[in-house]
Amino acid sequence: MRGVALLGSTGSIGTTALRVIDRQRHLFRVAALTAFANTSLLAEQVARYEPTFVGLVNNGGPSAGLWRTGQDCLVEAATRSDVDIVLNAVVGAAGLDATLAALEAGKRVALANKETLVMAGDLASAAARRGGGEIVPVDSEHSAILQCMTGRPSTDVRRVILTASGGPFRDWTHERLARVTVEDALHHPTWRMGRKITVDSATLANKALEVIEAHYLFDLPYDRIEVVVHPQSVVHSLVEFVDGSVLAQMSAPTMELPVLYALTHPERVPDDGVTPFDPVACSPLTFEPVRFDQFPALRLGMEAGRRGGAAPAVFNAANEQAVALFLEGRITFIDIATSIDSALDTLSDAESGTREALLAVDADARRHVRSLYSC
Binding site for Mg ion (CB under 5 A): 139-141
Cβ atoms of 369 and 321 closer than 8 Å: yes
How far apart are CB 199 and ligand NAD at their closest, in Å? Answer: 11
How far apart are CB 163 and Mg ion at their closest, in Å? Answer: 9
Residue 20 interacting with ligand NAD (CB under 6 A): no
Residue 153: which residues within 8 A CB-CB, separation 6 or more? none
Residue 89 interacting with ligand NAD (CB under 6 A): yes
Q: How many CB atoms are located within 10 Å of the residue 294 CB?
A: 16
Q: How many CB atoms are located within 10 Å of the residue 332 CB?
A: 15
How far apart are CB 256 and ligand NAD at their closest, in Å? Answer: 10
Give 135's strand partners: 109
How far apart are CB 36 and ligand NAD at their closest, in Å? Answer: 3
User: Of these, 54, 57, 109, 331, which contacts ligand NAD (CB under 6 A)?
Assistant: 57
Cβ atoms of 118 and 212 closer than 8 Å: yes
How far apart are CB 59 and ligand NAD at their closest, in Å? Answer: 11
How far apart are CB 155 and ligand NAD at their closest, in Å? Answer: 28
Binding window for ligand NAD (CB under 6 A); candidates: 6-14, 291-299, 350-358, 362-370 = 6-14
Residue 308: which residues within 8 A CB-CB, separation 6 or more? none
How far apart are CB 40 and ligand NAD at their closest, in Å? Answer: 12
Q: Minimal CB distance to Mg ion: which residue?
A: 139
Three-state DSSP at 342 gives helix
Residue 261 interacting with ligand NAD (CB under 6 A): no
How far apart are CB 125 and ligand NAD at their closest, in Å? Answer: 19
Give 7's strand partners: 34, 88
Instruction: Tell me whether residue 188 or residue 342 sits nearer to ligand NAD (CB atom).
Output: 188
Binding to ligand NAD by CB under 6 A, coded x per residue (else -) over 197-236, reads x---------------------------------------
Residue 35 interacting with ligand NAD (CB under 6 A): yes
Q: Is the peptide bond before 221 cis (omega within 30 degrees of 0)?
A: no
Nearest-angstrom CA–CA distance, 109 and 147: 17
Residue 91 binds which entry of ligand NAD, Mg ion, none, CB below 5-8 Å type-dependent: ligand NAD
Three-state DSSP at 158 gives strand
Residues 127-186 that bind ligand NAD (CB under 6 A): 139
Residue whose C-alpha is closest to residue 370's, from 334, 317, 325? 325
Q: Minimal CB distance to ligand NAD: which residue?
A: 11
Residue whose C-alpha is closest to residue 41's, from 22, 63, 26, 21? 63
Q: For the sheet with 68-69, list strands across it.
A: 68-69, 53-56, 28-35, 2-7, 85-88, 108-111, 134-137
Residue 12 interacting with ligand NAD (CB under 6 A): yes
Residue 57 binds which entry of Mg ion, ligand NAD, none, CB below 5-8 Å type-dependent: ligand NAD
How far apart are CB 15 and ligand NAD at their closest, in Å? Answer: 8
- Count Cβ atoms within 10 A of the Cβ of residue 291 and give its class: 0-12 exposed, 13-18 middle, 19 or more buried: middle
Residue 301 interacting with ligand NAD (CB under 6 A): no
Nearest-angstrom CA–CA distance, 356 and 360: 6
Question: What number of chain residues touch ligand NAD (CB under 6 A)?
Answer: 26
The alpha-helical segments, DSSP class H, found in 158-232 are 174-177, 182-185, 195-203, 205-218
Binding window for ligand NAD (CB under 6 A); candidates: 23-31, 83-91, 160-168, 350-358 = 83-91
Residues 90-129 that bind ligand NAD (CB under 6 A): 90-91, 94, 112-115
The kind and range of the H/E element at 314 are helix 311-327
Residue 8 binds which entry of Mg ion, ligand NAD, none, CB below 5-8 Å type-dependent: ligand NAD
User: Of these, 5, 28, 32, 36, which contacts ligand NAD (CB under 6 A)?
Assistant: 36
Binding site for ligand NAD (CB under 6 A): 8-14, 35-36, 38, 57, 74, 89-91, 94, 112-115, 139, 191, 193-194, 197, 255
